[in-house]
């Protein structure tokens, strides 16, 4: 990770190495690398610190959250087992997140193909809508959805929650699929057809591989976004049906014991496992469009 | 006969040996009848009629927007004609989808499948025809050898140069032993040197495998170099369909004349048939001879002549200017006008040295005539009175538009 960040560390190189003459390069070069590595380490630390603090404080023996932890215990993890509502919330969150991943991938592919290929009325409006959906503050979206669901008489359920999250995730998957399709040479599809492939096989052998990366990235993004969402969920959930972030948020309003940091740690572990699995299966670099050959 | 699946198995038959097989090609007789096609409200193909013999190499030549690629895509099955018929070997395939035709197409962008290796790309057509993996591998290896890419099968398209990619695309198209090989501007993404080399290779390969081939290009040099026949297209119609020499030396229309190289355009009046061509009066009294394209014009009709600069000989007028011994290298031509020979008198207005040749501009009664003198010929002096002549078969004559 630090090595990958090295070439990006422009600001620090300017101070250390830029003035070096060609033949005095080796010392300057070493300083430049060192500065780069230090910069990368600092950035990494900055990003990881909150997570590390959460993990560490979940091990404290005190009955309040503190850092550095005082003593070491797994008591708060055992405590989790006495609180089935956290498990229920976790399962709800995971279920909705998985649903969001699957549905927004499918919708993203369909909508992306439609926008990329076919003229239809309202196409440009739809395209622009997908592009600008990011700009809507989630809190506004939450209020709007609350109104809508009330108007439509839709009671809170995992389905309404899923629909709410799709509003967030589908625009992303559509954009990703469109980017993938832009890189696809249309005549490759014609070539495949000319070589005897029927339409479904052209799609399977040529079109789909072009958007494979974007689809995986989109699914991953949808999963995380949905699992992570607090703002929208706050408006949509009920006391009986709470996603994990909402559960933690509500719990924290009345308690400040290390149970929440234990839950947080479990969430982090869960995310880490997910990343490792995806890395094993497809490679995270590939997921974000990097070409493994280059 | 229906090509495609049933012919895939036996590769040895049509790829035997050199030129004999090409003459012996029996497959791939293409007929286009009255093809029309509008795209985006504009009629881009306006009545194409064409018959290709098995094994023929035909080029659709024209500027962009002339309908040549659209025509090719209708042969390939990627576009449906608005009207007209596409036939291959007597079978109407107008409405047959691309995947059920047996066309091997090569695209300008190569259109390789980026996530497949070269060998997988090449074997794709066989895979779609359910040929077994072992046979696929063997045939792909053969195809790689055919296009000179031995041992490159495991690479990915992005690891290849432009020329190698185009060869891969060619192998991929040929492996299914198509009725026709369709080449859509296949060389235009290559640099000039490679373009020339690859087009020679493709022409040689085509002669070897004997597949009826259509090349679409806007490059007249390419068309002249590789084709058996050239169809010069403009605005959705074929202006002329002839052998390269004929298209070059005897263009049928203004457009063909101007598009296929440089040309002298001379207007005159038809003055009767002669043994070696058709006489034509230019200005008041100068008689020249040319070969009519199509029906010969009646006497007194307004006609137009096209003569290439290379075909124009600049002759000394006896008794004036340079001595008769200043010969052009062409042994059949004389450097001085013989009394009976028709031609156009004029005055040398400019000469330009162009390295391999000399360009000479002669002012005549019909306007400026440009001549390209071959390397080593004597160059007339400025203001010298000369005589422009050409062989009748090197000049074409049409009714004046």
Structural domain for B195, as ranges: 5-102+177-254
Closest to A231 (Cα-Cα) out of A135, A163, A137: A137
Percent of chain B with pLDDT over 70: 88
CB B256 within 8 A of CB B240: yes
Cα B335 from Cα B28, distance rounded (Å): 49
B96 and B230 share one domain: yes
Does B239 share its domain with B294?
no
A189 → chain B, closest CA residue: B111
- Give the Cα separation of B241 and B232 in Å (integer): 6
Q: Which of A182, A196, A198, A293 to mutate against chain B (most B CBs within 10 Å)?
A: A196
Claim to verify: residue B322 and residue B355 sit in the same structural domain? yes
Reference A190, options B37, B78, B113; nearest CA is: B78
Residues of B whose CB is below 8 A from A292: none
At which of B237, B254, B271 does a domain end? Answer: B254
Same domain as B305, residue B385? yes
Same domain, B301 and B382: yes
Look at residue B399 and tell me whether its pLDDT is greater than 90: no
pLDDT digits (tens, 9 = 90+) for B350-359: 998 888 889 9
Residue at a domain's end among B226, B254, B282: B254
Within a domain: B109: no
> How confident is the model over B232-273, as pLDDT tens digits?
999 999 999 999 999 998 898 889 999 988 899 999 999 888
Chain A positions in Cβ-Cβ contact with residue B98 (cut-off 8 Å): 190, 193-194
Quickly state the pLDDT bin for B366 (edges 50, 70, 90).
Answer: confident
Q: For chains A and B, count residue pairs whose Cβ atoms are closer than 8 Å.
A: 76
Burial class (CB in 10 A: 0-12, 13-18, 19+), B129: middle
* B123 located within any domain: no
Average pLDDT along chain B: 86
- To which residue do tokens 């063997």 refer? B138
Domain boundaries, chain A: 2-57, 79-287
- For residues B186 and B230, membership in a common domain is answered with yes
Query: Where is A115: in which H helix or E strand?
Result: helix A84-117
Per-residue pLDDT for chain A (294 aa), expressed as one digit of tens each?
A: 334 433 433 444 444 444 445 555 678 889 999 999 999 999 999 999 988 988 888 888 888 888 788 888 888 888 888 888 888 898 999 999 999 999 999 999 999 999 998 888 888 888 888 888 878 888 998 999 989 898 988 888 889 999 999 998 999 999 999 988 988 888 999 999 999 999 999 999 999 998 988 898 889 889 888 988 898 998 888 888 889 999 888 888 888 888 888 888 888 888 888 778 877 776 655 555 444 443
Q: Is B99 within 8 Å of A209 when comparing Cβ atoms? A: no
Fold type of domain A79-287? MetI-like fold (1.10.3720)
The 10 Å CB-count burial string (b at 16+, else e) for B277-305 is: bbbbbbeeebbbbbbbbeebbeeeeebbb
pLDDT above 60 for B174? yes
Mean pLDDT of B221-225: 93
Is residue B128 one of the residues assigned to a domain? no
Same domain flag for B374 and B282: yes
CB contacts, 8 Å: A119 with chain B: none
B149 belongs to a structural domain: no
Share of chain B above pLDDT 90, in %: 58
Please determine, for residue B47, whether its predicted confidence score (pLDDT) is greater than 60.
yes
Kindly state the average pLDDT of the residues B114-127: 94
Residue of B nearest to A183 (CA): B114
pLDDT bucket at B59, cuts 50 / 70 / 90: very high
The number of distinct structural domains making up chain B is: 2
Q: CB-CB: which of A196, A198, A210 is closest to B4?
A: A196
Same domain (yes/no): B250, B333: no
Closest residue in A to B108 (Cα) is: A187
Domain with residue B239: its CATH number is: 3.40.50.300
- Which residue of chain A comes nearest to B155, CA vs CA? A293
Does residue B25 sit within a domain?
yes
**pLDDT attached to residue A17:** 42
d(CA B326, CA B337): 12
- Long-range CB contacts for residues A260-264, cutoff 8 Å, separation at least 24: A260/A65, A261/A54, A261/A55, A261/A57, A261/A58, A261/A65, A261/A76, A262/A58, A262/A76, A262/A77, A262/A79, A262/A80, A263/A80, A263/A86, A264/A54, A264/A55, A264/A58
Task: Provide the CATH number for the domain around residue B363.
Answer: 2.40.50.140
Is residue B202 one of the residues assigned to a domain?
yes
pLDDT computed for residue B235 by the predictor: 93
Whether residue B296 sits in one domain with residue B245: no
Among the residue ranges A58-67, B207-216, B291-300, B318-327, the one predicted with the least confidence is B318-327
| pLDDT at position B160 over 90 | yes
Q: What is the pLDDT of residue A76?
A: 86
A192 and B115 within 8 Å at the Cβ level: the answer is: no
pLDDT tier at B299 (50, 70, 90 boundaries)?
confident
For residue A203, CA distances in Å to A64, A184, A212, B77, B105 come to: 57, 12, 12, 18, 19
Same domain, B187 and B287: no
Pair (B66, B191) in one structural domain: yes
Q: Is residue B147 part of a domain?
A: no
Q: Does any domain span residue B307?
A: yes
**Which positions in chain A have a beta carbon within 8 angstroms of at least one beta carbon in chain B?**
185, 187-188, 190-199, 201-202, 205-206, 209-210, 212, 291, 293
CB-CB under 8 Å, A196 with B99: yes
Query: Does residue B349 share a domain with residue B277?
Result: yes
Query: Which of A181, A187, A194 is the best residue to mutate to test the B interface, defined by the most B CB atoms within 10 Å of its own CB?
Result: A194
């Amino acid at each position: 990770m630090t090595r990958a960040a090295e070439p990006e560390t422009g600001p620090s190189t300017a101070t250390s190495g830029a003035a070096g003459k060609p033949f005095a390069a080796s010392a300057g070069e070493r300083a430049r690398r060192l500065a780069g590595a230090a910069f990368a380490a600092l950035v990494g630390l900055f990003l990881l610190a909150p997570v590390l603090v959460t993990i560490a404080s979940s091990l404290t023996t005190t009955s309040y959250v503190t850092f550095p932890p005082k003593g070491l215990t797994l008591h708060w993890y055992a405590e989790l087992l006495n609180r089935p509502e956290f498990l229920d919330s976790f399962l709800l969150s995971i279920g909705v997140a998985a649903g969001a991943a699957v549905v927004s991938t499918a919708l993203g592919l369909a909508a992306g193909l439609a926008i990329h290929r076919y003229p239809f009325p309202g196409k440009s409006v739809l395209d622009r809508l997908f592009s600008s959906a990011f700009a809507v503050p989630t809190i506004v979206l939450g209020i709007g959805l609350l109104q809508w669901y009330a108007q439509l008489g839709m009671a809170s359920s995992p389905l309404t929650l899923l629909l709410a999250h799709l509003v967030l995730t589908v625009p992303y998957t559509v954009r990703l699929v469109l980017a993938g399709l832009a890189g696809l040479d249309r005549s490759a599809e014609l070539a495949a057809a000319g070589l005897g492939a029927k339409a479904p096989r052209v799609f399977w052998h040529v079109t789909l591989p072009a958007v494979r990366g974007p689809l995986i990235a989109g699914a991953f993004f949808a999963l995380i976004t949905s699992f992570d969402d607090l703002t929208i969920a706050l408006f949509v959930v009920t006391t009986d049906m709470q996603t994990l972030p909402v559960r933690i948020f509500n719990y924290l309003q009345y308690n400040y014991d290390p149970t929440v940091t234990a839950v947080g740690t479990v969430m982090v572990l869960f995310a880490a496992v997910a990343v490792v699995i995806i890395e094993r299966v497809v490679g995270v670099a590939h997921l974000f469009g990097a070409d493994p050959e280059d | 006969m229906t090509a495609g699946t049933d012919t895939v198995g036996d590769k040895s038959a049509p790829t035997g040996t050199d030129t004999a097989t090409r003459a012996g090609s029996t497959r791939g007789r293409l007929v286009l009848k009255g093809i029309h096609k509008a795209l985006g409200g504009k009629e881009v193909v306006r009545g194409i009629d064409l018959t290709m013999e098995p094994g023929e190499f035909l080029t659709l030549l024209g500027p962009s927007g002339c309908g040549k690629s659209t025509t090719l895509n209708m042969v390939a099955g990627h576009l449906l004609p608005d009207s007209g018929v596409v036939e291959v070997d007597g079978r109407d395939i107008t409405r047959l989808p691309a995947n059920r035709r047996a066309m091997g197409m090569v695209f300008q962008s190569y259109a390789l499948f980026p996530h497949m290796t070269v060998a997988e790309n090449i074997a794709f057509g066989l895979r779609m025809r359910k040929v077994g993996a072992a046979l696929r591998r063997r045939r792909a290896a053969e195809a790689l050898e055919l296009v000179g890419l031995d041992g490159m099968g495991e690479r990915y398209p992005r690891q290849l140069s432009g020329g190698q990619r185009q060869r891969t695309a060619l192998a991929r198209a040929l492996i299914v032993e198509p009725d026709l090989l369709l080449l859509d501007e296949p060389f235009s993404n290559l640099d000039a040197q490679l373009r020339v080399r690859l087009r020679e290779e493709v022409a040689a390969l085509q002669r070897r495998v004997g597949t009826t081939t259509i090349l679409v290009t806007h490059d007249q040099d390419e068309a002249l170099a590789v084709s058996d026949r050239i169809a010069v297209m403009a605005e959705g119609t074929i202006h002329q369909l002839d052998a390269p020499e004929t298209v070059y030396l005897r263009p049928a229309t203004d457009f063909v004349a101007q598009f296929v190289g440089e040309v002298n355009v001379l207007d005159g009046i038809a003055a009767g048939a002669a043994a070696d061509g058709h006489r034509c009066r230019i200005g008041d009294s100068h008689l020249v001879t040319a070969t009519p394209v199509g029906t010969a014009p009646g006497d007194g009709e307004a006609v137009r002549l096209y003569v290439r600069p290379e075909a124009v000989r600049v002759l000394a007028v006896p008794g004036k200017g340079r001595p008769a011994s200043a010969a052009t290298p062409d042994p059949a031509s004389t450097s001085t006008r013989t009394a009976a020979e028709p031609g156009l008198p004029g005055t040398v207005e400019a000469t330009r040295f162009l390295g391999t040749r000399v360009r000479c501009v002669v002012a005549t009664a019909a306007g400026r005539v440009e001549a390209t003198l071959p390397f080593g010929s004597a160059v007339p002096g400025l203001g010298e009175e000369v005589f422009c002549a050409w062989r009748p078969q090197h000049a074409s004559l049409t009714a004046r538009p």
